[in-house]
Amino acid sequence: MIALDIAINDKQYDNSSSVVLKDIKFTVKPGEFVAIIGPSGSGKTTLLNMLSGLEEATTQKILCNAQPIEDCKELQLGYIFQQPRLMPWLTVQENIQLVLPTIQQTKISHLLAQVGLKGKENYYPKQLSGGMQKRVAIARAFAVNPELILLDEPFNSLDAPTAAKLRLLLVELCKSCNSTVILVTHDLSEAIYLADRIIFMSDSPSSIVHQVNVELPKPRKESGCNELAWQTKLLQQHPDILSGILKTTE
């Protein structure tokens, strides 16, 4: 299982002088599910992109099991983006096959059955609904047996019942893979439902303003009494936490 040690001093884009991320330091334990919450434009996606190697900061140190993440060539990574990002010219099956080094028909069929897309193997993405496309993206991420899964607001464009179903699916798949998970979201109830720990980020230039362990037993319920009570208590203590401001009332 993968443990992460993240230290990003500052990140700014080449074409802009403004700093996106500043002094981001946190660790992720093996198999831990961490949710990151922050206001829009706080650089949450940038952070995930840096963990996945798509972007780099001027000064960063990301360690994966005590090794620089750039050197972890064998690290199996699953990334579920905001948009499904499927290849429109490939069928559902081919889209999953794309990320696998060898042809693994049985594995793909099994995964598709798990995500409820049995019989849709030969459909093209545009023939599927948004929720179904997201399921394919989830199946693609789990096809590589990921040790680390990055989720970037994966359910934000879906209707509530579909999002709830997919969250349940995600919990099952994560459990079966023993993966370390980092979820970026702006939905506090989603974070409480899924995560072991929640990290709150401030507005840009972002830094971590608060971290809290979700001390609720699993499996949790979406909008369950305990979960709602926990959320209410947190928001009472820090009323502006979702805007990235740590104001304490007690």
Partner 1 sequence: MSPIYGRVIILFILASIWQLVAWLVNSSDFPSLLTVMESFHYHFFQGDMLVNLTVTLKRVLLSFIIAMILGVIIGILMGTSKRLNQLSDTLLIIVLNVPALVTILLCYIWFGLVESAAILAVVINKVPTVVVMIREGARVVDEDLLDVAKVYKLSITKTFFKVFLPQLYPYIMASARAGLSLIWKIVLVVELLGRSDGVGFALNTLFQFFDIAGILAYTFAFISIVLAIENLLFRPLDKLIARGSHHDRT
Q: Which is nearer to partner 1, 150 or 214 (CB)?
A: 150
Stretch that binds partner 1, among 31-39, 127-135, 166-174, 216-224 (CB under 8 A): 127-135
Q: Nearest approach, Cβ of 158 to partner 1 (angstroms)?
A: 15
Asked if 113 touches partner 1 (CB under 8 A), the answer is no
Q: Are 29 and 3 in contact (CB under 8 A)?
A: yes
Q: Are 179 and 143 in contact (CB under 8 A)?
A: no
Stretch that binds partner 1, among 35-43, 125-133, 162-170, 231-239 (CB under 8 A): 125-133
Stretch that binds partner 1, among 39-47, 91-99, 174-182, 200-208 (CB under 8 A): 91-99
Q: Nearest approach, Cβ of 138 to partner 1 (angstroms)?
A: 14
Asked if 145 touches partner 1 (CB under 8 A), the answer is no
Asked if 142 touches partner 1 (CB under 8 A), the answer is no
User: For the window 37-76, what string marks contact with partner 1 as x by the rule CB under 8 A?
Assistant: ---------------xxx----------------------
Q: Nearest approach, Cβ of 132 to partner 1 (angstroms)?
A: 7
Q: Which is nearer to partner 1, 79 or 230 (CB)?
A: 79
Asked if 87 touches partner 1 (CB under 8 A), the answer is yes
**Residues found near partner 1 in the complex (CB under 8 A):** 52-54, 77, 79, 81, 83, 85, 87-91, 98-99, 120, 123-129, 132, 140, 144
